[in-house]
Chain A
Amino acid sequence: MSEQKIDGFELKPGFKGMASDTGSDQTMFKGVHWGKAMMWIFLLSDTFVFSCFLISYMKGRGSTIVDWPNTSEVFSLHVGGVPVPLLLIAIMTFVLITSSGTMALAVKYGYEKNRKMCGWLILATAVGGLTFVGMQVFEWSKLIHEGVRPWGNPFGAAQFGSFFFMITGFHGFHVSIGVIFLFIYTYKVFAGHYESKKRGWFTKMKGDYVEIEILGLYWHFVDLVWVFIFAFFYLW
């Protein structure tokens, strides 16, 4: 293992080296921005939130006395009179994962100080997120139209609606918060706040392109959570 340098701090090789770097003074994660470390730890905590939701869902689905609705029928879209299972959800997933790609590119261009590209890509990410939320609204209204309610539905166990609306709602809430921040950051990037070191509205702190990466971490997380929700609700 070769020696590596982060911000002038020399990392030592091997397990002992790792232990001594971790326990060394000032910082545990060398060269990691405070906000970035904060986002990682917040995401760990948020992972526990979603895990609790999904484990409760597994427990709830496993112990209902009434049969669970047939999800490939309930979630199917009718195209020209033919039910196509997973159609809407495939589009939603595609849009969300694409928006993760544009987010990653935005981070890259941000660090390259390519303000224009960065701004457009964040805007594209925000539009992708908004499209996702819009399709979720469509799916919810379709299900509500068919009689699915949090307290019951015509297809089977009442817990289906309860868990579905709660968990996709909680995830949609995360996406919406992300979209709001994406629009704010679009403005900040296009207005050049990171170049002029303009202080934030609330925090009065100077910004930096690292903020784009921090928001990106959140966005990828929300995306990853969707993959699990997709698997547990639509494929199970």
Chain B
Amino acid sequence: MSDEYDNNKSYQAQSSEVLDGSAGSINPDMDYVRPAEIPEQDLYHAHSFIEKWIFCQDAKVIGVQYFLTAVFTGIVGLILSWLMRLQLGFPELAGFMTAEHYYQFVTMHGMIMVVYFLTALFLGGFGNYLIPLMVGARDMVFPYVNMLSFWMFFVAVAVLMASFFVPGGPTGAGWTLYPPQTILEGTPGSGTGILLMLISLSLFVIGFTMGGLNYMITILQARTRGMTLMRMPLTVWGIFTATVLAMLAFPALLVSAIMMTLDKVLQTSFFMPTILKAGEVLEYGGGSPILFQHLFWFFGHPEVYIVALPAFGIVSDLISVHARKNIFGYRMMVWAIVGIGGLSFFVWAHHMYVSGMNPWFGFFFATTTLIIAVPTAMKVYNWILTLWRGNIRINTVMLWCLGFIVTFVNGGITGIFLGNVSVDVPLSDTYFVVAHFHMVMGIAPLMVIMGAVYHWFPLVAGKMLSETLGKWHFWITFLGAYSIYFPMHYLGFIGVPRRYFEMYDSPYMTSTVGMNEFISVAAFIVGAAQFILVFNIIKTLKTGKKAEQNPWKANSLEWYTSTVPPEHGNFGERLPVVHRWPYDFSVPGAKDDFIPQTTAPSEVANTEVEKT
């Protein structure tokens, strides 16, 4: 759609100046780019330490702030999972832990990892850092609101963490917070804990809305000259679609949080049916617990794709760069992302097959669920076809990408099992489900995050992370993760229920002891292995070797900033002008095996480059 620029030939691009200052030959006809439509952005530069590093309006600093806060909560979530595995594998060592503690750890682990770790990391962290750089903008379009977004998230995390220290502790209702038991006495943290959780979620939604508006408008309205929608890196497409999902799905979470808060505080009965407790009728009556499940999963299922779509986008870019090959079927990839995003709003009730809803409803949602496998499978094929006959570099980043593909396919296939009502019903609430969702939306996106950290660290910090440590980190994590979750599939098949503190006198108790011990040991090792990355980052910051500009020889704009790491305003005097997609790798006839997006067509006139 970019080849019909017949009119307005009065303005011509001077792209070679932008790239490196060398004067290339400019061919006005070939190199035509539309004149600028948007005025230069008015940026507020920081004047003090506080404005520069704390209440900062620069999206890159905000991205790093989001990243560090999310990683902090992620480490809390990791420690909680260790405690759970200690109880499940070695209950005799976990004498300090009561069943109530265990439920609280399960709940907080789930909520932290899904919302405060993965969502914040992908959209807040990578989104803030990469969107303006990749689309060629000076900053997010509303820097002040962006700053507020981070601090709102920070307060949400603080409120969440505070719930560990209130009387009764955090809520132990499971991360899905199903009423009525969530706010009834007897559930751990049904007093202050659940209130803080609901407040924290509401704050998160408000903060995210501020950020999400920024991401969307920056991508839609602030791209640089020549950056058409179909020339954007897939990372941007993934983050963009995930943001759209979040803007439409988080309202359901906000509403259910508000309604449950009122049920808790004002004794309303939105979700509370008539309840008999010890022979006494409680004040509640007439509400619908299923309504909460619908609202929650209307948020909850898109949430899965809010985490997965940025991962899809980022991994596409990483694979393309490190296999030195253009992404296979770029447009198909874009439409698959958009299609998955759209479909994700029509599958939510597959989380509710055992809730007692009408079987025809389940039939409908099983169908939509299986349809969503089609665009997803297309993406997997395209990643593999990108690798096929590529000039693959087996470095740390590529290892994480390969690990992602394998893990994602694994989790995706078990998803097809669970999408069918008749298969799902016996497997509901077993460890099979735990294994499925950890594979598909836990480990797989995490692998992309790791790959992305190794890939973009040279840009953020200007230094190269150690490859040796990186490979150790990868192999321990990859093999360890499979040691954890493969046995869990088996546990699920023999019927071990999830979320149980212990197996009591059931037959599972004796037959699964060895396996639970094995899983727990693997979990301890994998968790500890993540600190290799922390060590790697600290060591690299102190003594690491300085990264050259664009160490991976990538094409996208973030590597072509005026300085590395990029400063406020990103691109120096003039914004770059884009002439192509970011995937021109190994083009026959080209001097190098990559052609940056800023290279004008006349500079590569004799190559077999595709028109994009």
Given A42-B209, A59-B288, A166-B262, A49 and B221 contact (CB-CB distance below 8 Å): no
Contact B291 A34 (CB under 8 A): no
Least CB distance, A46 to chain B, in whole angstroms: 8
Contact A23 B37 (CB under 8 A): no
The residues of B that contact A12 with a CB separation of less than 8 Å are 4
CA A52 – CA B298 in complex, angstroms? Answer: 10
Q: Does A90 contact B (CB under 8 A)?
A: no
Contact B270 A162 (CB under 8 A): yes
Q: Which of A34, A44, A46, A63: most chain B Cβ within 10 A?
A: A34
Q: Does A9 contact B (CB under 8 A)?
A: yes
Contact B33 A25 (CB under 8 A): yes
The residues of A that contact B37 with a CB separation of less than 8 Å are 7-9, 26-27, 30-31
Residues of chain A in range 119-153 having any CB-CB distance to chain B below 8 Å: 150-151
1/0 per position for B234-274, CB-CB distance to A under 8 A? 00000000000001101110111011001000111110000
Contact B251 A159 (CB under 8 A): no
Contact A34 B141 (CB under 8 A): yes
Least CB distance, A38 to chain B, in whole angstroms: 5
Contact A24 B287 (CB under 8 A): no
How many chain A residues touch B (CB < 8 A): the figure is 54
1/0 per position for A64-84, CB-CB distance to B under 8 A? 111000000000000000000
Q: Does B515 contact A (CB under 8 A)?
A: no
Least CB distance, B250 to chain A, in whole angstroms: 8
Q: Does B216 contact A (CB under 8 A)?
A: yes
Given A22-B229, A150-B266, A60 and B288 contact (CB-CB distance below 8 Å): yes
CA A69 – CA B2 in complex, angstroms? Answer: 61
Residues of chain B in range 204-252 having any CB-CB distance to chain A below 8 Å: 209, 212-213, 216-217, 220-231, 247-248, 250-252
Q: Does A206 contact B (CB under 8 A)?
A: yes
The residues of A that contact B217 with a CB separation of less than 8 Å are 34, 37-38, 41
Least CB distance, B253 to chain A, in whole angstroms: 9
The contact of B223 among A27, A56, A163, A204, by CB within 8 Å, is A27
Q: Does A10 contact B (CB under 8 A)?
A: yes
Q: Does B50 contact A (CB under 8 A)?
A: no
Least CB distance, A138 to chain B, in whole angstroms: 21
Residues of chain A in range 1-42 having any CB-CB distance to chain B below 8 Å: 7-10, 12, 19-20, 22-32, 34-35, 37-38, 41-42
Least CB distance, B358 to chain A, in whole angstroms: 14
Q: Does A231 contact B (CB under 8 A)?
A: no
Q: Does B8 contact A (CB under 8 A)?
A: yes
Residues of chain B in range 365-415 having any CB-CB distance to chain A below 8 Å: none
The contact of A27 among B4, B221, B247, B287, by CB within 8 Å, is B221
Contact A34 B248 (CB under 8 A): no
CA A12 – CA B8 in complex, angstroms? Answer: 13
1/0 per position for B164-176, CB-CB distance to A under 8 A? 0000000000000
CA A49 – CA B206 in complex, angstroms? Answer: 12
The contact of B252 among A42, A48, A162, A163, by CB within 8 Å, is A48
Q: Does B110 contact A (CB under 8 A)?
A: no
Residues of chain A in range 149-196 having any CB-CB distance to chain B below 8 Å: 150-151, 157-159, 161-163, 166, 170
Q: Does A236 contact B (CB under 8 A)?
A: no
Q: Which of B33, B212, B262: most chain A Cβ within 10 A?
A: B262
Q: Does B144 contact A (CB under 8 A)?
A: yes
The residues of A that contact B278 with a CB separation of less than 8 Å are none
Contact B229 A52 (CB under 8 A): no
Contact B262 A162 (CB under 8 A): yes
Q: Does B44 contact A (CB under 8 A)?
A: yes
Contact A44 B270 (CB under 8 A): no
Nearest B-chain residue to A162, judged by Cβ: B268
CA A148 – CA B541 in complex, angstroms? Answer: 63
Least CB distance, A206 to chain B, in whole angstroms: 7
Q: Does B24 contact A (CB under 8 A)?
A: no
The residues of A that contact B226 with a CB separation of less than 8 Å are 25
The residues of A that contact B34 with a CB separation of less than 8 Å are 9, 24-26
Least CB distance, A36 to chain B, in whole angstroms: 10
Given A42-B213, A59-B288, A203 and B144 contact (CB-CB distance below 8 Å): yes
CA A166 – CA B4 in complex, angstroms? Answer: 54
Residues of chain B in range 465-501 having any CB-CB distance to chain A below 8 Å: none
Least CB distance, B292 to chain A, in whole angstroms: 9
Contact A56 B259 (CB under 8 A): yes
Nearest B-chain residue to A21, judged by Cβ: B1
The contact of B288 among A63, A163, A166, A206, by CB within 8 Å, is A63
CA A170 – CA B390 in complex, angstroms? Answer: 56
The contact of A32 among B221, B269, B283, by CB within 8 Å, is B221
The residues of B that contact A230 with a CB separation of less than 8 Å are none
The residues of A that contact B270 with a CB separation of less than 8 Å are 56, 60, 159, 162-163
Given A41-B213, A159-B269, A159-B287, A24 and B225 contact (CB-CB distance below 8 Å): no
The residues of A that contact B534 with a CB separation of less than 8 Å are none
Contact A23 B228 (CB under 8 A): yes
Q: List 21 A-B contacts (CB under 8 A).
A: A8-B8, A10-B8, A19-B1, A25-B33, A25-B34, A25-B226, A25-B228, A26-B225, A27-B37, A27-B220, A38-B213, A38-B216, A42-B209, A45-B251, A48-B248, A49-B255, A52-B254, A65-B285, A151-B283, A162-B266, A202-B144
Across the A-B interface, the 7 shortest Cβ-Cβ residue pairs: A48-B251, A162-B268, A52-B255, A203-B144, A49-B251, A151-B267, A23-B229
Give chain B's interface residues, CB within 8 Å of chain A: 1-2, 4, 7-8, 33-38, 42, 44, 141-142, 144-145, 209, 212-213, 216-217, 220-231, 247-248, 250-252, 254-256, 258-259, 262, 266-270, 283, 285-288, 291, 295, 298, 578
**Besides the known contacts A46-B251, A162-B266, 19 further A-B residue pairs in the complex with CB atoms under 8 A apart:** A20-B1, A23-B230, A26-B34, A27-B222, A32-B221, A34-B217, A34-B221, A37-B217, A38-B216, A48-B247, A51-B251, A59-B291, A150-B262, A151-B266, A151-B269, A158-B285, A159-B269, A202-B144, A203-B145
